[in-house]
Amino acid sequence: MTGARLPEPRGPLSAALLDMARGSRSGLPSLPTEAYGDDLQLALYVLYELHYLGFAEIADDREWDPELLTLRAGLEARFLDALRTDAPVGTADTAAQALDELQLEPAGDDSGSLSHFLCDHGTLDEFRDYAALRSLYHLKEADPHAWVIPRLRGRAKAAMAAVEFDEFGAGRAEEIHAQLFADLLAELCLDTSYGHYVDAAPAEALATVNMMSLFGLHRVLRGALVGHFATVEITSSPASRRLAQALRRLGAGPAAVRFYTEHVEADAVHEQVVRHEVVTGLLADEPALEADVVFGIRATGFLEDRLATRLLTAWRDGRTALRTNRIAPAFVSTSRRSPR
């Protein structure tokens, strides 16, 4: 058995799930009604992590436990139904239109943009909040997207593999983007351990990570995964430029700044590859997936907006955006160690 420590439960479902995963057969309560709430999102996060690095307290063979998979399916159905309701796709909506909309830059921090706020006003404590929450994804950056590669063909497959090759360091372990984010965490005196900040993460942050796993693990949602990935790549470069500026303003070291400057350069290229080869190639092969691509774009925007509202509301009130107290600087090793 390997992996992270188990998080603390946030309700009856997640408490019962954690007991079940450890071997208890006491049964489960009914599913929560709130699709975006802490109890359901934490339960989904735990179930999805069994397909990544797992948990030290859960045997590796529980990844394919039928009872856990049945529970996951029920939670996924509730989450997916909510996303389809809150990120609707019209019959006339096209992927090209949705991708064009992503290139409309928000006009300043009053737009609800996290990167604008952090660039212009954010404090070091607020940036550390942000980095801790984003670590739940960035320490496994690109892993959820890799699941789609066997489900693509031709142009889409080749282009997706090329982008992922860059995300995974182009053959150099020290250049893997997850490692670069671990270096950023260390520079900010944050813990670099995989999954360390899950207890600090509000449901809004868990939902953004869970959506990637939901789309990645289901072949039927391959179009949504491509739409999500296109959103990430198209919006990443300008946002990363602002986040690098924020870190320079705050006096952060070069390892912290480098994570974002790397994304300014790489994602400007990836944006064109994803749009013109991955998305266009997929829809040339499977035009019926266009609505799913649009759904992936819209669902990503919806969940990111919810997270931004949570963080900006807290920061403007002078509070931490975390569920726990503000994180004290940690003494971390200065050696480069892999988060994976």
307 and 164 in a common domain: yes
25 and 154 in a common domain: no
Average pLDDT on 311-323 reads 96
Asked whether the CA dihedral 148, 177, 281, 95 is positive or negative, the reply is positive
- Binned at pLDDT 50, 70 and 90, residue 107 comes out as low
Please check whether residue 330 lies inside any domain of the structure.
no
Average pLDDT on 45-54 reads 97
The reported pLDDT for the residue numbered 338 is 42
What's the distance, Cα to Cα, between the start and end of the chain in Å?
Answer: 15
Among 60, 86, 112, residue at a domain's last position: 86
pLDDT over 60 at 332, yes or no: no
189 and 71 in a common domain: no
- Binned at pLDDT 50, 70 and 90, residue 317 comes out as very high
Q: How far apart are CA 55 and CA 255, in angstroms?
A: 29
What total number of domains does the chain contain? 2
218 and 126 in a common domain: yes
**String of b and e for 130-158 (b: at least 16 CB within 10 Å)?**
bbbbbbbbbbbbbbbbebbeebbeebbbe
**CATH number for the domain including 278?**
1.20.910.10
297 and 268 in a common domain: yes
Please check whether residue 322 lies inside any domain of the structure.
no
pLDDT digits (tens, 9 = 90+) for 194-219: 999 999 999 999 999 999 999 999 99
For the entire predicted model, the pTM comes to 0.93
114 and 68 in a common domain: no
308 and 231 in a common domain: yes
The reported pLDDT for the residue numbered 1 is 45
294 and 169 in a common domain: yes
Q: How far apart are CA 40 and CA 222, in angstroms?
A: 23
Please check whether residue 159 lies inside any domain of the structure.
yes
What's the mean per-residue pLDDT of the chain?
91
Q: How far apart are CA 99 and CA 279, in angstroms?
A: 10
62 and 143 in a common domain: no
Domain that holds residue 133: 95-316
110 and 78 in a common domain: no
